[in-house]
Amino acid sequence: MVIKDKAIKDDENSLLHEFSGSLQKYSPSLFSSWQTRHFVLHNKKVKWYHKTTDVIPQGVLNFDFFKCEVTLVPNDKRCFNLTLMGSDRVFHFKAASQDECLEGKKR
């Protein structure tokens, strides 16, 4: 999953990581399914793209505006949820392996 991984310091001196790679994202639309997306974490923003060659992201989460909680899914060690605090919005993600899921949760 991780193509690039670089530690950086943000304004509050907390350690952040930058990375990019593929995850599956659950789509809650009419035709609910897992869809593979390319993700980039950079400058306290997570952007996801349909393909690695896309220029315009399908979605963006800016962590300057959102606080979130990341939780592992107990019955599937490859899955984790990202819950936006103060909101009912939960993003469901699936990594290729349990190791990649645990590595992604650390970020």
pLDDT tens track for 54-70: 999 999 998 888 888 88
- Distance in angstroms (rounded) separating the CA atoms of residues 60 and 38: 12
Taking alpha carbons only, the member of 73, 76, 80 closest to residue 101 is 80
Contact 42, 56 (CB under 8 A): no
Q: Which two tokens stand for residue 9?
A: 């310091």
pLDDT tens track for 12-37: 545 556 778 889 999 887 777 899 99
